[in-house]
Every structure is written in structure tokens, then in C-alpha cells.
Amino acid sequence: MSGRSIIHHGVYTPFGEGDNAEGLNLTYTLLPEHLKEQHAYKTYMVGKWHLGMKTAAYLPSSRGFDRFFGYYSGVMDYWNHGMAGPPPHNGGLDLHEGGIGNGGVPGKDTPLYNTSGEYSTGMFARKAAEYIANHQQETPEKPLFMYLAFQGCHSGDNKYVQAPARYIDRFAAMSNETCGQWEKPLTGNCTKPAMRKSVAGAITAVDDAVADVVAALKAAGIFDDTLLVLSTDNGGPTDGADNNNMNNFPLRGCKGGYFDGGMRAVGLVHGAGLDPAVVGTVSNALHHVTDWVPTLMAAAARQGGGGGSWDPNDHLNPREVPFLPGDGIDNWSALASGSASARTEIIHVTQADGSVLDSHALRSGDMKLLWHPAGTDCSRTHSGWYPPPGRSYDYANFTVQCPPPPAVAGDCTEAAPCLFNITGDPCEHTNLASAMPDVVAHLSEKIKRYQKSTVLPWLNFLDVDPRANPSTRGPNRSGYTGVYGPWMPIAEDVRYYPTNYTGPGY
């Protein structure tokens, strides 16, 4: 949304489940705002937000989206669209619709109490299709931008991945046990194969949902003029972590950390603006999540008849910090025509003095230097290699080809960092640090330069606010104990990071 590196906005990990006083800094101009202001787009968001809700100003309908349908926090039950259990969850509803395009005002969304029992993946696809059809009926002369963030296949309410019975049953060969679901109660133990079966069902549901959105674009007559970008956000919790069994194998590591298994993501770009020569090909061009903002803005400029270049620092609001080294860059040519990537380096993570975190990782060219690679989530317990349940170290059918991993993963510390050739050793088996001390020193100096503009992470300022508990806000309706949403008076916001941050990096 911002095009900024985590080192510059401090959101190293997602915010808690609505119970803390954080949010993505309001000074940033987000992608939908750029598209609206510069190319008159109508903007839509469906699905997961997770960038703050403490005041109405942090909600999607206040940050550039004309229409919003989705949830604010990090997890919810796939079927009842709320959260259960002890506080701060307490059974609150977290599904909302709003925005000026839905007849509302920014930040004043409507809680939706009438959707319980509809699986979220299909529900989000249905709403996306509805917005696409409405757009063509109401404002066909305007270009359309939609950010569709499916819940699948995240764990549901920090429990098991959930999927409809008809999808889980397709994968019965994986296990004769089933983890607890809305339609299929727990049978036997929730073993790793049973978790994997639910993951497979959830992913297949996403596949079908994407097909439904494509069908909606075709029905609206705009599919051929649409650029589709599909991307995951991070590696998954693997080997039973977080009651989940995603598969990052043969890459190393787990969600939340800085081995490539926790970070390397697959994606697909399809449609308008692509050179026919690259259609159907595979690109290994280096591309970072921060690059989407300048890359998509450059693509919009080309489609809109402009020259196609886009400098983010020409479009800042008066309070906004300029784009800095490490932030997003325009990589459209690499994706659209197969040219060399404009990106040669990624600062994955580094820390300002005083940070409660200690991870550092930089990729420059083929080489990647890191120490303390465990960040959050399962990366602290899963730093090795984890094949799917029942599978041996058989690499033959994997896209990434590596030999069998070492028996011991080994640590990466500041005193003894890890250095990998990611091109030649994508599975991070062989630590080259002792053999290449000059490279270690060179990349360490690069990290130090990035540290000069690095801010403290929001975790340094974690401040749980009991007013965020949905039970403090009504109504208690349809079986829900309150509703998630803004709770903090606007005047209080300046007390909290990052709104009034003046620490390291600034």
C-alpha cells in the first residue's frame, strides 16, 4: 500500500488483533490515493486490511478506497466472520462495508451481521464480482482498481485453516482425520497430515474464487483491458506451527523470518500492457513487495497515455517523508517485457539502535547476509527444512532444485553471520561467511548505511488498550459480543507511535 520498506515505517510484524494503539502512519499516500488523484481511478477493496483501526482515519474507506468490504484485523473465523475465545477477541464481529461509493462517509463503515455461514473466500469473490458489475453500470468511463486480499489460506482466528467440506473431501487421501471445521467436526487428532488436508482445501477454494473474479471481468467486458496481479504475502507456517501446515519446502525457514522460506513469494502478472513475448513465461527477476506501488503507477501512466515513468517523490503530501534507499522502485519493464530487473538489492530487515528486535538481512546481487534471522511467528522455532507430511527429501517434483539439506541447520549470529549465494544455493544450505570475509564486511557496511534511516519498530511502543475490546462497543447482536472498529478519540492519536514519532531514522 505504501511502497515503503519496513525499515522506514516500522511495521515489522502485523498489528495485534485490534487491541493495540498502532496503525500505518497517516502521512503516507497509499496506492489507491495515487491512482485516484493522478488517473481518476475508482478504487475498491475486498478482504483483509490489518493496517490499523484505532481511529476512523486508519480505515480503508479513509485511505483511498471508494468502496470497502472486509475485515480490519489479522484473523477471523472463515464462517462467522468474528473472533471467539477470551479477551480481546471475546466473540466480536469483524466484517464491515463502507466508503463513499457505498453511500457512506470515510471511516464510517457498517458492521455486517447477516453473513454468518458463508465461507469467506467465496464471499469475497462474490463481493468483488458485484463491485465489478456495479462499476461498469455506474462509472464505465472510469478506470477500476481493486485490491482483493483473500483470507485463504491463513489460519482462522489463530486456529486451524478452515475449508468447506466439499474441498476437504477432495484430499481424503492425505489423511483419514480432519481438523475442526464449521462443516466437518474434528475427527481423531489434528495431525500434520490433517492440517495439510485443510490447507489444500483452502487453496483450492482460492483457485475457484479467482476463477469467479475472472468470469466477472469477462462478463463486464473489461477482462482484455485489465492487468491482473496475483501474489502471496510471505512464506507459510510450516510443520504444524500455528496449527497450520503450509509448505515452504525445499526453501528454508518459516513465516516471520528472513530465510527465503519465510520471504520468497510466488506471483503472476497477466493481461493488459504485457509484451506478447513474455506471456506464458517464467520470470526470476528480482522484485520486492515495495516495488508494487511505483511499478503499478508506471503501468497506469502508460495505459493512460502518459510517458510511463513515475517518480514517487514528485507526488508526496506536505507531511510525507520522501522515498529513501530501500523503498520501492519502478520494475515494470522487467515484468512487462522481460528486461533486466531494475532492482539489484533488497534490505530485508535491519534495526535502529534500541529496537526490541535483532534481525538483520540484506540481499545484494546473488549474495545474502543475515544474522538473527528469526523475527516473529514460527521463525523462532522452525529454522530448518520441512517437507510436507509423508514426503521424504525428494526434490524431483519441486520447481526449486537443491540437494538434500544438511543434518544441522546451524545458527546465524552477529558474531558469526550467515552468507549465502541465493542464486546458486536458494535453499540456504551452505554458509559461505568464513570463506568470504570480504563479502561479509562489504555487505555489513551496506546494512550500516541502511540503519541510518531505519525507524524503531512499532513493537517498541506496544500499548494494549482495553477500549479496543469489542465487548465495550455494542450492539451485542446475532450472537456477537460487540463489534471491532475505531475506539480512540482522534485527539489521543498524537500520543502514540507512529503518529508523533521523532526517534531514530527521522
For 25-89, the DSSP string reads -TTSPPHHHHHHHHH--EEEEEEE--SB-SSGGGSGGGTT-SEEEEESSS---TTTSB--STTTT
Q: What pLDDT is attached to residue 281? A: 95
Average pLDDT over residues 319-330: 95
Nearest to 2 by CA among 309, 361, 320: 320
Helix or strand or coil: residue 370? Answer: strand
pLDDT surpassing 60 at residue 52: yes
Q: Are strands 360-364 and 345-349 parallel, antiparallel or unpaired?
A: antiparallel
Q: What pLDDT is attached to residue 468? A: 87
Q: What pLDDT is attached to residue 304? A: 66
pLDDT surpassing 60 at residue 80: yes
Cα 18 to its chain centre, rounded Å, is 17
Residue 338 lies in a domain: no
**The domain spanning residue 30 has which CATH number?**
3.40.720.10
Q: Report pTM.
A: 0.95
Domain hosting 483: range is 8-159+465-500
Residue 316 lies in a domain: no
Average pLDDT over residues 240-247: 88
Amino acid, single-letter form, for residue 370: L
Give the C-alpha separation, 428 to 419, whole Å.
Answer: 9
Q: How far is CA 184 from CA 141, 188, 249, 263, 425, in A?
A: 46, 12, 28, 32, 42
Residue 464's contacts (CB-CB under 8 Å, 6 or more residues apart) are 16, 19, 20, 21, 88
Tell the residue number behind the cell numbers 561467511, with chain if given: 433
Residue 221: count of CB within 10 angstroms of its CB: 10
Residue 37 lies in a domain: yes
Q: Rounded to the nearest 10 degrees, how much is the dihedral formed by the CA atoms of 481, 485, 489, 493?
A: 130
Residue 453 lies in a domain: no
Give the C-alpha separation, 474 to 160, whole Å.
Answer: 28
Q: What pLDDT is attached to residue 184? A: 77
Average pLDDT over residues 40-67: 96
The three grid cell numbers given for residue 501, joined into one nine-digit string:
514519532
How high does pLDDT run on average in the chain? 91
Total domains in the chain come to 1
Contact 162, 79 (CB under 8 A): yes
Helix or strand or coil: residue 271? Answer: strand
Residue 374 lies in a domain: no
Q: What pLDDT is attached to residue 142? A: 96
Give the C-alpha separation, 142 to 140, whole Å.
Answer: 5
Residue 495 lies in a domain: yes
Residue 207 lies in a domain: no
The angle formed by the CA atoms of residues 258, 409 and 14, to the nearest 5 degrees, is: 25
In this predicted model, what pLDDT tens digit does every residue of 255-298 receive, in sequence order? Answer: 999 999 999 988 999 999 999 999 999 999 999 999 999 999 99
State the pLDDT confidence band at 86, using cuts at 50, 70 and 90. Answer: low
pLDDT surpassing 80 at residue 40: yes
Residue 153 lies in a domain: yes
The three grid cell numbers given for residue 161, joined into one nine-digit string:
485453516
Average pLDDT over residues 362-380: 93
State the pLDDT confidence band at 307, using cuts at 50, 70 and 90. Answer: low
Give the C-alpha separation, 501 to 506, whole Å.
Answer: 8
Q: How far is CA 157 from CA 15, 16, 290, in A?
A: 14, 12, 27
